[in-house]
Amino acid sequence: MKIAGSRIMITGASGGLGSAIATDLAGRGAELVLTARRASVLEDLVARTGGEVVVADLADRSDLVRLCNMLDDIDVLVANAGVGGDSALAESTPDEIDFAIDVNLRAPVILATEFAQRRSSAGRGGQVVMVGSLSGLVATPNTRMYNATKFGLRGFTLSLRQDAAEVGIGVTHLAPGFINTAGMFADNGAELPGFVRTKAPEDVAAGVRKAIESNPAEVFVAPAELRASATLGAIAPGLSEAIQRRMGAAEIARQR
């Protein structure tokens, strides 16, 4: 799908990844609809991209309905919003669990479903980009809800892709690893071991661009060794757990 001239909705536009994605797409001629919980944090981004701001909290069901009602004239949906920061097991509450599910899973599932239904009913194609994580392939300690929602998002996305293809709508799952200046680890000031390589927000933006233009099933934004370790975690979780324990993964995850 062509980016130039397309109207693209980006959720989670106020974060570092959302900003990089929006800047890249605007520079390629896209018309943007930028969503976030607070308009004030988007002022600089709007000045750079000319995007339209829609204030919406994805955990608020009335706000989510309002976003769904805007999808009729959207050509591309980039579901980028997400939250992490699991509490310690002893401190986890139902409210925290609900919030993670609402933002990371329920909201993108509903938006993508509505998008596909509306575009299909109108006889129009489109593209959905679901921004997940390598945490949707491999489990890590102290990230229960983040893993749960990202595993669920990946499964939904790859299934939706097969259904939506029948009505001419592309769907791609994008899975970043550690990003050096944005995302949950960077935002929390987490320190990774020196041997762990990272990618930049601009690499995520390039991945989104590839998804829109080429419609691959998945785009991974991570060094080769991190992708390999995620694959190992998917097929041999017990071995992956043992390796993570020796590498101190629990302590790293606590910094999220």
Domain CATH number, residue 129: 3.40.50.720
245, part of any domain: yes
With beta carbons less than 8 A apart as the criterion, state whether 65 and 39 touch: no
Residue 50, judged by CB atoms within 10 A of its CB (0-12, 13-18, 19+), counts as exposed
2, part of any domain: no
213, part of any domain: yes
Question: Residue 241: which pLDDT band, with cuts at 50, 70 and 90?
Answer: confident
* pTM of the entire predicted model: 0.90
pLDDT recorded at residue 182:
67
Containing structural domain, residue 91: 7-254
1, part of any domain: no
pLDDT recorded at residue 249:
66
pLDDT recorded at residue 35:
96
Can you tell me which residue has the tokens 């390589």?
A: 197
Q: Among this protein's residues, is 146 annotated catalytic?
A: yes
Q: What is the C-alpha to C-alpha distance for residues 229 and 236, in angstroms, rounded to an integer? A: 10
Domain tally, the chain = 1
The active-site residue, picked from 146, 178, 185, 220, is 146
How much of the chain exceeds pLDDT 90, in percent? Answer: 71
